Amino acid sequence: MATEVFLMADVADLGVEGDVVTVADGYARNYLIPKQLGAPVTDATRRRLAKIQREREVAREANLAEARKLATKLSGVSVTIPMKTIEGEKLYGSVSEVEIADALKTQGFEIERSAVELEEHIKELGVFEVTIKLQPEVSATIKVWIVEE
């Protein structure tokens, strides 16, 4: 037998807070409900679900607006990263997402390194266009100057 449960928190491999999922009776009765990870679906929980979804939408819109503002600020930014070289143009090592995020941090932008999108690490001197993905639908492109130290 299966039971519909309203998730009160994120549950791995099951869903996120606010989802209505169908689970086995025992799983709901012995695990989800006692640990306050889920609640039986009733009219009251449906109203709560609607309220949580409205709050999530407002928060998502606020995060999206903030990301768009940051993207416009980032669009004209360029960073310079000095690196040691060997044999002229080749770098001793490489420039990865971490170095780019750190260079942005010195300019006052708090960007997670996971937001920096590089196809592969930069291994030579030059100017490169790097995409910073702030949200799934918001990204900005910055110029990264790799110069000899």
**The domain spanning residue 14 has which CATH number?**
3.40.5.10
User: Is-above-0.75 flag for pTM?
Assistant: no
Q: Is residue 132 very low, low, confident or very high in pLDDT (cuts 50, 70, 90)? A: very high
Q: 114 and 45, same structural domain?
A: no
Final residue before a domain boundary, out of 36, 65, 94: 65
Amino acid at 138: V
- Please check whether residues 32 and 58 belong to one and the same domain: yes
Last residue within a domain, chosen from 47, 65, 83: 65
Last residue of a domain, one of 33, 65, 97: 65
Same domain, 105 and 47: no
- Count of domains observed in the chain: 2
**Nearest to residue 76, comparing CAs of 143, 146, 145?**
143
Task: Give per-residue pLDDT as tens, 77-111.
Answer: 999 999 988 877 788 889 999 999 999 999 989 88
What is the pLDDT, as a whole number, of residue 19? 85
Question: Which residue reads 């300019």 in tokens?
Answer: 107
Return the CATH number at 117.
3.10.430.100
pLDDT averaged over every residue in the chain: 90
Burial 82-112 (b: 16+ CB within 10 A, else e): ebebeeeeebeeebebebbbebbeeeebebe
Same domain membership, residue 136 and residue 84: yes
Q: Are residues 78 and 133 both part of a single domain?
A: yes
Task: Note whether 76 and 139 are same-domain residues.
Answer: yes
* Residue 129: C-alpha distances to residues 17, 132, 145 (Å): 38, 10, 9
Domain carrying residue 137: 71-148
